[in-house]
């Protein structure tokens, strides 16, 4: 079953094989957890968030129509859950647990990369929420402007503007830091 597509697994689940929902959880729990961290800024609330998202997804599985990839449908549930719950959870400003993969093995480069990552994540956390959400989904999750529009309800031009403004604001925040020339911006 592990080699089947998400859509094939969903069909099996809808036919009564509920146990294989664990495959969906295994595939996406890290992404959902990272979305939770973006909203709640702490691991404890993010773990609760992951459980809530997967419970909702399982309960709403029969509403998945297959018009877009399952991943998109699931992350839209995560986004909406985060938006609906953000005011309930306390924001402690922590950015622990956010995972940005390292491409280097050299300890000095890894240390520099970690320092840049922390500065960058701190800068991103200072952005207005509407900018941060659009930036996250565009750069970290690889969604198109249209997909972000479907998830957030923002018009495509607003999303483009938010990403542009977020990048401009990040450049300003990062000016004078070791992360100033971060190549992704």
Read off the pLDDT of each residue in 11-28 and give the average, rounded to a whole number.
Answer: 95
Same structural domain, 10 and 79: yes
Predicted confidence at residue 96, as pLDDT, reads 42
> Domain residues for 12?
6-85
Same structural domain, 47 and 116: no
pLDDT tens string 84-140: 886 444 444 444 444 444 444 577 777 787 888 788 888 888 888 888 888 888 887
Q: Which pLDDT band holds residue 76 (cuts at 50, 70, 90)?
A: confident
1 pLDDT higher than 90: no
Same structural domain, 127 and 78: no
Same structural domain, 11 and 74: yes
Angle, CA of 23, 26 and 27, to the nearest 5°: 85
The answer to the question of residue 79 being in a domain is: yes
Same structural domain, 80 and 111: no
Six token digits for residue 64: 């998945």
37 pLDDT higher than 90: no
Burial class (CB in 10 A: 0-12, 13-18, 19+), 172: exposed
Question: Which residue in the block uniquely carries the two structure tokens 């729990």?
Answer: 29
Same structural domain, 11 and 81: yes
d(CA 101, CA 154): 29
Q: What is the CATH number of the domain that holds 18?
A: 1.10.1740.10
d(CA 31, CA 27): 8
Same structural domain, 12 and 44: yes
Nearest to 169 by CA among 144, 142, 135, 118: 135
The answer to the question of residue 93 being in a domain is: no
Same structural domain, 13 and 76: yes
Phi-psi region of 142 (alpha: psi -120 to 50; beta: other; left: phi over 0): left
Same structural domain, 115 and 56: no
The answer to the question of residue 95 being in a domain is: no
Read off the pLDDT of each residue in 163-177 and give the average, rounded to a whole number.
Answer: 90
Same structural domain, 26 and 61: yes
The H-or-E segment that residue 169 falls in is helix 156-174
**Model's pTM, two decimal places?**
0.64
d(CA 128, CA 16): 43
Q: How many domains does the chain have?
A: 2
Q: What is the CATH number of the domain that holds 117?
A: 1.10.10.10
Same structural domain, 123 and 156: yes
């Amino acid at each position: 079953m592990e080699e089947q597509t998400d859509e094939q697994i969903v069909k099996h689940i809808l036919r009564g094989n509920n146990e294989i929902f664990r495959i969906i959880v295994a595939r996406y729990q890290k992404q959902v957890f990272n979305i939770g961290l973006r909203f709640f800024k702490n691991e404890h609330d993010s773990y609760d968030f992951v459980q809530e998202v997967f419970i909702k997804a399982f309960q709403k599985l029969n509403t998945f129509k297959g018009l877009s990839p399952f991943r998109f449908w699931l992350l839209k549930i995560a986004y909406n859950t985060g938006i609906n719950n953000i005011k309930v959870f306390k924001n402690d400003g922590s950015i622990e647990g956010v995972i940005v993969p390292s491409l280097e093995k050299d300890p000095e480069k890894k240390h520099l990369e970690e320092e840049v990552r922390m500065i960058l994540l701190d800068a991103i956390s200072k952005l207005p929420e509407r900018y941060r959400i659009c930036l996250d989904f565009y750069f970290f999750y690889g969604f198109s402007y249209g997909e972000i529009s479907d998830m957030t309800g923002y018009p495509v031009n607003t999303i483009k503007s938010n990403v542009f403004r977020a990048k401009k604001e990040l450049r300003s925040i990062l000016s004078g830091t070791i992360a100033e020339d971060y190549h992704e911006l």
